[in-house]
């Protein structure tokens, strides 16, 4: 469904960033009319980089702090009264460690106030007309600020194909509330739960401007374990869907085939079709670089068999990340055949001896189990390690669940 969006909402800029990050950010914003068009004197601004994981920006997992710092300066130059740089990292990570490893603390040099959203008040927000995600608890700060500027990274994602502007705003949800989006399930295979939840969430969360950090992107098994791609690009735009559509095209994907971007557009969040967008600066064809897509189930070798029942992306995402990291560290490459079961209505194959169930949905009496809804990635890693180390796997017990209960 096409809707009419203003000329401003349809503009996206693309510029090269060869070394001087600040210059590139300034140019990308200038091509759209300058920061004065976004931030007015006396306003409070919240900047939302992607600081989801304790990883340096050179891995492609998090936002380059120089991009965020350049935006702090631009906001103050436009007359902002206060500029916050805020994040709630992916559930299970220590925010102090994340802030330190990502070097985001350097934004203080430009006057940015760093905020851990897990330590600020939140509010319950109803999502009018939502079919799946009717209510969500969001940090209050973005609603108290006059403007929200989103600073995602150009990267692939194992559950949502890409993780760009729409997905990055999930970091405004405190702590485990983020997992709620992963737990949305639909009966319609063409409408994956996480994708529709991201789209519905984006109908209520504020976002006035987006700057896509394409200095270093990520391909393959993103959002945290893929390979870095030195793209040397900055994109910007007022509308999150428009920016995601153009960025997906730059990465070699068809934005209309990316569920959460298409759903968000259908819900009226922004324009999706490239022919209705005005791209300023470089053209998509000039900077196109086909990113390797992320696998939906990680390739971890023939000995580890992941059997999926009706599982939501809460378990699938954390399990994928956990086994991928263990495989990369050669922790599970030589273990005897192991079946990992996840989700509802999944059965171990007849005669299978080494079976581990992950997440409360997959619990089966008599089988070793990692409890949680979902368990964190670290709990899954610990569970698999304990299972492998156990001489008699049938007597293995998880950290909480008593198999006899």
Interacting residues with ligand SF4 (CB under 6 A): 183, 311-312, 314-315, 343, 359-361, 373-374
Closest distance of CB 376 from ligand SF4, Å? 11
* Nearest CA among 300, 291, 299, 152 for reference residue 219: 291
Closest distance of CB 355 from ligand SF4, Å? 17
Q: Please, which residues bridge with residue 103 across strands?
A: none
Cα-Cα-Cα-Cα dihedral sign, residues 158, 161, 164, 165: negative
Longest Cα pair distance anywhere in the chain, in angstroms?
A: 70
* Nearest CA among 307, 282, 285 for reference residue 297: 307
Closest distance of CB 192 from ligand SF4, Å? 13
Q: How far is CA 142 from the centre of its chain?
A: 18
Q: Which is nearer to ligand SF4, 248 or 357 (CB)?
A: 357
Q: Which is nearer to ligand SF4, 256 or 360 (CB)?
A: 360
- Write the DSSP symbol of residue 131: S
Closest distance of CB 182 from ligand SF4, Å? 7
143's CB contacts (< 8 A; 6+ apart) are 123, 206
Q: Which is nearer to ligand SF4, 174 or 314 (CB)?
A: 314
Q: Which is nearer to ligand SF4, 298 or 314 (CB)?
A: 314
For every residue of 206-233, DSSP letters joined together read ---EEEEEEEEEEESSTTTSSEEEEEEE
330's CB contacts (< 8 A; 6+ apart) are none
Q: Which is nearer to ligand SF4, 89 or 374 (CB)?
A: 374
Q: Which is nearer to ligand SF4, 293 or 314 (CB)?
A: 314
Give the three-class secondary structure for 242.
helix
For every residue of 133-202, DSSP letters joined together read --EEEEESHHHHSSEEEEE-EEEEETTTEEESHHHHGGGGS-TTHHHHHHT---S-TTS-HHHHHHHHHT
Closest distance of CB 375 from ligand SF4, Å? 8
Closest distance of CB 323 from ligand SF4, Å? 15
Closest distance of CB 172 from ligand SF4, Å? 21
- DSSP alpha helices (H): ranges in 62-126? 65-77, 95-101
Closest distance of CB 5 from ligand SF4, Å? 35
Closest distance of CB 372 from ligand SF4, Å? 7
- DSSP alpha helices (H): ranges in 225-340? 240-250, 259-266, 284-287, 313-328
Give ∠ CA 156-87-107 in degrees, rounded to 5.
100
Closest distance of CB 345 from ligand SF4, Å? 11
Q: Which is nearer to ligand SF4, 81 or 134 (CB)?
A: 134
Q: Which is nearer to ligand SF4, 17 or 196 (CB)?
A: 196
**129, 21 in Cβ contact below 8 A?**
no
Q: Which is nearer to ligand SF4, 155 or 369 (CB)?
A: 369
Q: Which is nearer to ligand SF4, 345 or 350 (CB)?
A: 345
Closest distance of CB 370 from ligand SF4, Å? 10
- Write the DSSP symbol of residue 375: P
The CA R_g of the chain, rounded to the nearest whole Å, is 21
Q: Which is nearer to ligand SF4, 200 or 219 (CB)?
A: 200
* Nearest CA among 259, 261, 291, 314 for reference residue 90: 314
- CA 338 – CA 356 distance, rounded (Å): 8
């Amino acid at each position: 469904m096409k809707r009419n969006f203003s000329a401003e909402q349809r503009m996206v800029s693309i510029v090269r960033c060869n070394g001087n990050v600040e210059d590139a950010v300034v140019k990308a914003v200038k091509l759209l009319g300058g920061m004065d068009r976004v931030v007015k004197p006396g306003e409070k601004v919240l900047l939302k980089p992607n600081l989801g994981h304790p990883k340096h920006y050179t891995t492609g997992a998090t936002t380059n702090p120089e991009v965020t710092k350049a935006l702090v300066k631009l906001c103050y130059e436009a007359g902002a009264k206060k500029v916050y740089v805020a994040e709630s990292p992916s559930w299970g990570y220590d925010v102090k460690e994340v802030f330190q490893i990502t070097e985001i603390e350097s934004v203080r040099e430009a006057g940015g106030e760093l905020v851990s959203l897990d330590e600020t008040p939140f509010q319950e927000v109803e999502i009018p007309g939502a079919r799946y995600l009717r209510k969500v608890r969001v940090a209050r700060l973005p609603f108290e600020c006059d403007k929200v500027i989103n600073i995602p990274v150009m990267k692939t994602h194992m559950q949502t194909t890409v993780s760009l502007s729409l997905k990055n705003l999930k970091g405004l949800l405190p702590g485990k509330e983020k997992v709620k989006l992963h737990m949305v399930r639909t009966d319609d295979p063409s409408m994956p739960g996480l994708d529709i939840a991201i789209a519905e969430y984006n109908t209520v969360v504020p976002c006035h401007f987006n700057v896509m950090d394409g200095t270093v992107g990520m391909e393959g098994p993103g959002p945290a374990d893929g390979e870095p791609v030195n793209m040397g690009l900055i994109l910007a735009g007022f509308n999150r869907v428009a920016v995601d559509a153009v960025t997906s095209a730059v990465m070699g994907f068809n934005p209309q085939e990316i569920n959460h971007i298409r759903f968000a557009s259908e819900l009226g969040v922004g324009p999706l079709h490239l022919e209705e967008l005005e791209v300023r600066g470089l053209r998509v064809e000039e900077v196109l670089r086909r990113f390797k897509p992320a696998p939906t189930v990680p390739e971890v070798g023939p000995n580890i068999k992941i059997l999926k029942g009706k599982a939501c992306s809460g378990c699938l995402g954390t399990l994928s990340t956990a086994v991928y990291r263990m495989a990369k560290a050669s922790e599970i490459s030589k273990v005897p055949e192991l079946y990992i079961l996840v989700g509802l209505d999944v059965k171990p194959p007849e005669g299978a001896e080494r079976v581990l169930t992950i997440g409360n949905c997959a619990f089966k009496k008599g089988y070793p189990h990692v409890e949680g809804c979902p368990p964190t990635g670290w709990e899954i890693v610990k569970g698999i390690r304990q299972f492998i180390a156990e001489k008699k796997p049938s007597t293995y017990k998880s950290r909480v669940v008593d198999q006899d209960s």
